[in-house]
Each structure stands twice: as C-alpha cells, then as structure tokens.
A and B are shown apart, each in its own frame.
Chain A
Amino acid sequence: MAAVTDRSKLSTVLWPVLAWTIALIFFFPIFWLVFTSFKTDADAVKPEMLFSFTPTLENYTNMTQNYDYWRFATNSVITSTFATLFALFVGVPAAYAMAFNPSRHTKDILMWMLSTKMLPAAAVLYPMTFLTKNFLGIFDTHFLVILVLCLINLPIVIWMLFTYFKEIPKEIIEASKMDGVTTWGEIKDILIPLAWGGVASTALLCFIFCWNEAYWTVRLTTVDAATLSKLIEGNRAPEGLFFGRLSAVSTAAVMPIVILGWFCQKQLVQGLTFGAVK
C-alpha cells in the first residue's frame, strides 16, 4: 500500500512539473522574441548582455516612425476580417447544402475542394501577377488580397463547417421546413445559433490563417494593400544584423494574433475538431 501512495505522490508532483517544463520550452522562442525586442541592435548580439541590459523602446519608436507599422497593421486587419466574412458568407450555405442535402458526390466535392489547397502557388505566381496587373488592374488592391485570402481558406472553412453542421439532427431542419421557414431563415435562425461554437472556431481559424499568409500577400502587393507579412519580408536582414529591430517588427506583427488566440483558447480547445470527435 505504501508503495502505491508513494507512486501516486510522485506522479502528482512529477506530472505538473513535466507539463510546465514542456509548456515553457514551447513558449520560450516567443518569449525570447519579445525579450530581444527591448534590446538595441548592438546589445542583442553581445553574449554578456544576454540577460543584463538596459531595456529600450527605441526599436518600437523606430518602427512606427520609419516603417509605417500602422498602415501595414490596418491592412492586415481589414483584409483578414473581410476575407473571413466573405469565406463564411460563401461557406455557410455550401456547408449547409452538403450537410443536409448530401448527394453521392458530396464527399468527392469536399475532397476536391481540399485538393485545390495543394496546388503549387509558385507555379501560378507568374500568370497570376500578369493577369491581375495587366488584364484586371487589381494588383496591390485590398480587393485582390481579400479575394485571394478568401479563396485559399474557403476549402478549410467549408470542411470545418460541414463537420459541425453534420452533427445537428436532421429532424430539426426538417421540422422547420414543415413550418414553412425559408432556407435563409433556416440558416439564420436555426443552423447558426445551433452551431454557433463551430462557426466561431471556424471564423477564428480562418482569421489566423489570413493574418499569417505570406506567399500571396507578399507577392501580389507593393504598397497600398501591403500587410504585416510584407513588413516582415522587408525587414529580413542578413544574419546577425539588426536582431533588435527584427524582433520588434516581428513582435508587433505576431502579438495581436497570439493575444487573440489566448482569449479564444477555450473556444479553440472545444471547437477545433475537424470532425475528429464523434
């Protein structure tokens, strides 16, 4: 009996210690990024100043004055928000149709949609630039960035919504049909309130992916619609140079979304299942 209690005592101490250690290891790079952003470029590469240095906000004032941080940040907020809204606007009806009126081909359509995400972007970069610049004249506009962000995330959005909608009993939808509720009314008044958690998680994940996208947003913009990824791209100096500046710019680019993620952590823990939980 003594051995058992010893063992369980050990595990009650060991378990949290292990969990905390792993969590701190995983978080350390982010901490280090934020930490370094308060050092000057010169201090950031001196080993003797690893932990003892005079913190400075120089990098941040520099960033807002010389790099127009707020313009990039505003663009990121605008494009990610509208791309997410647009993706939901197109995705909710599609997922509704697939979940409640599935046909023989629904599975294939879903898989085909996901497979469009695997198309190599680099192969179509040149035609895309050419088309948007010379034919459509929408290069470097918010409209283009929103459209592209929406399209690349639409497959994931539809997939996620589909898995949530599928869990809603068909009878509820059927019953409302009997009562003469319109399709739009069904979606608005029954489906979305019932699957609210799922819709919110989907929107959140879509927003995160939009914010972090760095292939198209960098290559289809120059100034007007440039997002934070473009700001990072412009500040990627050769190794060892400007660690302080780089950290400040990076911190300012990732912290908004990391903090949003922290606040919505509960939502993500319960909501991010991709249909994995029955």
Chain B
Amino acid sequence: MSDRSIPRLLQTPAVILLLIWMIVPLSMTLYFSFIRYVLNNLRRPEWTTPSPSNWRGFGNYEYVLNAKDFWFAIQNSVFIVSSILILTVILGLGIAVLVNRSFPGRGIVRVLLISPFFVMPAVNAVLWINMILDPVLGLQGIAVDGMNSLVAGLRDFPVLGAFFSLWPEIEPISFRATQTSAYAVIMMVTWQWTPFAVLIFMTSLQSEDESQKEAATLDGASPWSQFINLTVPHLARPIAIVVMIQSIFHLSLYAEIEIVSRGNGNKNLPYLIGEFASNNIGAASATGIFAVILANIIAIFLLRMVGKSLMD
C-alpha cells in the first residue's frame, strides 16, 4: 500500500453511505415508474402490489407528460427558484454593503438581520400566510382595513373630503389564489434566505482590498462606480456560491408550497410528485425521474459556474 492510499480510503465511508442513500430509492423509483402501481383501486386490486407482471413500459411517462399540471409545475418551479435567487442576491448585496460600515449598534443590527435564517421553514410559512398576509385576520387585512376607515373618516372633512371621496376603497390581496400564493412563497423564502446571502457577502466584503478603494476615491470615483467596478467583481465567487447552495435547497421546496397552497393549483415539481404519490405511485415515480433529470441539468450548469474555481 502506498503512502497515499490510506488517506484516500478515508473518503470511502462517506461515498458508500451517499451511494446507498441515492441508489436504493432511485432504483425503486425507476422500477415503479415502469409498472402500474396504485395504492387504491377496487376494480384492479392486482395493481396495488408492485409486481413485474403489471409492466406498463413508458405508459407512466406518457401519462405524466400529458398531465396538464406537469409543464405548469416545471415552469412554476423555475419561476419560484429564479425569483428567489434574484431577490436574495440583490437584497443580500445591498444589505451586506450597508452593514459592512461601522455604526452604532452594528452588532445588534447583524443579529436581527440574520435571525430569519434560523426559523423553521414550516413555521415561516404558517407565520407569513396566516398572521401577516391573511386578507382578513392577518396584519395585511388589519392594515388595509385601517387605511379604509381612515379614508372614510377623512371624507367628512369640508375641503379634504372632496378629495378623499375620490379615493377608492383598497381591497386586500388574497395570497391563497394560484398565482398570488406563488408570490407569497417567494416572499417568505426570500425573507428567510436573504440573511444567508448577507452572511456570505459580508464575510467576503471584509476581505476586500481597502487600499484599492481609497485609491479610487482619490481618483474621484463615485461610490456607485466603486461598487460596480470593484466590489461586485470581488463578490463574483460568493454570488456563485449563494446561487448554487440556494438552488440546491429551493429546487426541493416543499413545506412552504404545501402550507400556502393547500391544493389551490400553485405547485412545483416536488409538490406535484407528492400529489401523485397519494395514490398513483407509478406516475409519482415517473415524475420523480423527470425531476432527477431536471436536477442533473441544473447541476451541470452549477458545476460549470462554481466547479472551475473550486479546486484552486
């Protein structure tokens, strides 16, 4: 045994564990995706046990591709993930630059800012959709109500009243409809993950070359052009990391969608799989295989983006 083989063997437990964790479920999913397999069917009880005699070939795949929800779910997954990525990177950059300067109470500001990252996703969803965004009982409903009664009160005033009587009643927005609940999910996940972006950008900003900035200031460069020409290039790698880690987490977003949407039509790919899996395991498995393919396509992109600089 050479010098190097013992240390290299040390990665085998991790590799084997993850390989089992991947291959056992994946091969079962692959198998189920080619057979008819449902949990409840009174007319065809033989379909309720997985068996090769229920072979369906690519039937499940065809069924899934023709389901109207499938393309919508893919589109919606991509929409939700990319919206969250754009928002968290922009907000994260702005906030990281803001708290990088020293000012009174910076320590407390940081603590307050990163707190949402520690909140359980299920609690995050319950809190936002009920207590904040609910159109009647949530803070949104109460705020809109307050605005409307304020305007109504102002209508009784002599001169101002004429102006305020033109003011329309504001309607609270319901975040339980298909489209709006996707916005609600984007909002709550952005709230939770912006602190993560802030944390990573903040650490990187601390390593920024201050003398370069001072030179730029002496040369009369505006703060904005310094930010664009010096800070953003310096943050290219952290941005790539934030995008990669978040893509991994948000592609499998589930709890938030489940709690916010509750069958109102707003779904992403994992949620669609969950819906199928309540009865039709075959279709759920075929959708799962599509999800694996999608994940791999995205992984290749991420690999190109981050992988190159990973090893140096």
Contact = CB atoms under 8 A, between A and B. Distances in A.
Contacts of B245: 156, 274
B21 A19 contact: no
Contact of B288 (A12, A100, A120, A211): A120
A272 interface: yes
Interface stretch (A55-63, A67-75, A253-261): A253-261
A17 to B, nearest CB: 9
A177 B113 CA distance: 45
B160 to A, nearest CB: 25
Interface in A204-225: 208, 211-212, 214-215
Contact of A212 (B7, B15, B120, B129): B120
Interface in B247-300: 248-249, 251-252, 254-255, 259, 269-271, 273-274, 277, 281, 284-285, 287-289, 291-292, 295-296, 298-299
Contacts, number: 284
Q: Interface on chain A toward B: helix, strand, loop, or mixed SS?
A: helix
If over half of B's interface residues share one DSSP class (helix, strand or loop), that class is named, otherwise mixed; here it is helix
Given A126-B277, A214-B122, A19 B17 contact: no
B170 interface: no
Contacts of B281: 126
B137 A243 contact: yes
A239 interface: yes
A101 B11 CA distance: 10
Contacts of A107: 307, 310-311
A194 interface: no
Contacts of A15: 98, 101, 103
Contacts of B195: 26
Interface in A104-126: 106-107, 109-111, 113-126
A243 B7 contact: no
A24 B252 CA distance: 30
Interface of B: 3-4, 6-11, 13-15, 17-18, 21-22, 24-26, 28-29, 32, 95, 98-99, 101, 103-106, 108-123, 126-132, 134, 136-137, 139, 142, 145-146, 191, 194-196, 199-200, 202-204, 207, 237-238, 241, 244-245, 248-249, 251-252, 254-255, 259, 269-271, 273-274, 277, 281, 284-285, 287-289, 291-292, 295-296, 298-299, 302-303, 307, 310-311
A91 interface: yes
A250 B124 CA distance: 9
B269 A208 contact: no
Contacts of B6: 183
B100 to A, nearest CB: 10
A154 B18 contact: yes
Contact of B284 (A29, A126, A151): A126
Contacts of A16: 103-105
Contact of A123 (B118, B128, B277): B277
Given A116-B21, A269-B110, A276-B203, A258 B7 contact: no
Given A111-B303, A155-B18, A208-B118, A121 B7 contact: no
Interface of A: 12, 15-16, 18-20, 22-24, 26-27, 29-30, 32-33, 36, 45, 47, 50, 90-91, 93-94, 96-98, 100-103, 106-107, 109-111, 113-128, 131, 151, 154-156, 158, 177, 183, 208, 211-212, 214-215, 228-229, 232-233, 236, 239-240, 243, 246-247, 250, 253-254, 257-258, 260-262, 265, 268-278
Contacts of A33: 123, 127, 131
A102 B7 CA distance: 10
A164 to B, nearest CB: 13
Nearest to A30: B115
- Which of A151, A156, A271 has the most chain B CB within a 10 Å cutoff? A151
B270 A121 contact: yes
B255 A214 contact: yes
B203 A29 contact: no
11 contacts: A118-B296, A120-B287, A121-B252, A122-B284, A156-B245, A250-B123, A257-B118, A258-B119, A261-B115, A273-B200, A276-B241
B242 to A, nearest CB: 8
Contacts of A275: 241, 310
Nearest to B236: A276
B13 A118 contact: no
Question: Looking at B10, B110, B146, B254, which has the most chain A CB atoms within 10 Å of its CB?
Answer: B10
Nearest to A272: B199
B123 A254 contact: yes
B298 A269 contact: no
Contact of A19 (B18, B109, B117): B109
A274 B271 CA distance: 29
A93 B120 contact: no
A84 B202 CA distance: 26
Contact of B14 (A32, A90, A273): A90
Contacts of A93: 10-11, 13-14
A116 B101 CA distance: 39
A111 B307 contact: yes
A106 B299 contact: no
A177 to B, nearest CB: 8
